[in-house]
């Protein structure tokens, strides 16, 4: 693999990530009052099936700093989608749990999330331009939004209706 190929491949990864992130941010915000990261936090908690998670555990799962994750969790808590409580064994620790409203918001937003991902990456049965997550085919462009969409997005205010 030569350097030029590697750089081009890296730039394609960055462009695809930007396209995907912008499309998810726009659709989840417009339709469900959730930002992409807010959805990801709810998704990891719902899929994990446990009643409580440490903030650092969530931050690691969604690739955020602990402080950024704490701010995101505060927004989710204000909206009634998660609860926070102090760990009884280690008073320095904070546990986060998803509420029933959080589960409902996630369930409602899930089809939108999956539709955007499916539109961009194609289907796992090979009926897209991609052969799956590790395939060598080129992923399709999302036709609903361009990569400049992020520059037009407001700050993450997915929870604005609950303010």
Q: What is the pLDDT of residues 76-121, one digit of tens each?
A: 999 999 999 987 777 778 899 999 999 999 999 999 999 999 999 8
For residue 138, being part of any structural domain is answered with no
Decide if 150 is inside a domain. Answer: no
- C-beta neighbour count of 39 within 10 angstroms: 24
Beta-bridge mates of residue 97: 83
Of residues 149 and 12, more confidently modeled: 12
Mean of pLDDT over the chain: 81
Number of domains in the chain: 1
Please check whether residue 121 is in contact with residue 139, taking contact to mean a CB–CB distance below 8 angstroms.
yes
Domain assignment present for residue 53? The answer is: yes
Three-state DSSP state, 122: coil
Q: Identify whether 122 is part of a domain.
A: yes
Residue range of the domain that includes 105 = 3-132
Summarize pLDDT for 45-77 with one digit per residue, the tens. Answer: 999 988 899 999 999 999 999 999 999 999 999
Residues near 70 by beta carbon (within 8 Å), at least 6 away in sequence: 55
Give the CATH number of the domain where residue 119 resides. Answer: 1.10.10.10
Is the pLDDT reported for residue 12 higher than 90? yes
Q: Determine, yes or no, domain membership for 155.
A: no
């Amino acid at each position: 693999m030569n350097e030029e190929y590697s750089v081009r491949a890296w730039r394609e990864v960055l462009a695809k990530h930007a396209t995907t992130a912008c499309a998810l941010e726009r659709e989840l915000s417009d339709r469900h009052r959730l930002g992409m990261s807010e959805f990801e936090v709810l998704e990891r908690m719902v899929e994990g099936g446990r009643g409580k998670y440490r903030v650092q555990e969530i931050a690691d799962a969604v690739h955020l700093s602990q402080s950024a994750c704490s701010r995101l969790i505060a927004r989710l808590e204000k909206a009634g989608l998660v609860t926070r409580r102090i760990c009884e064994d280690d008073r320095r620790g904070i546990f986060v749990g998803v509420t029933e409203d959080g589960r409902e918001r996630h369930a409602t937003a899930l089809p939108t999330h999956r539709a955007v991902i499916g539109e961009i990456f194609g289907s796992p049965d090979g009926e897209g331009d991609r052969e799956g997550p590790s395939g060598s085919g080129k992923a399709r462009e999302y036709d609903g939004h361009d990569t400049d969409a992020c520059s037009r997005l407001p700050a993450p205010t997915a929870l604005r209706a609950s303010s």
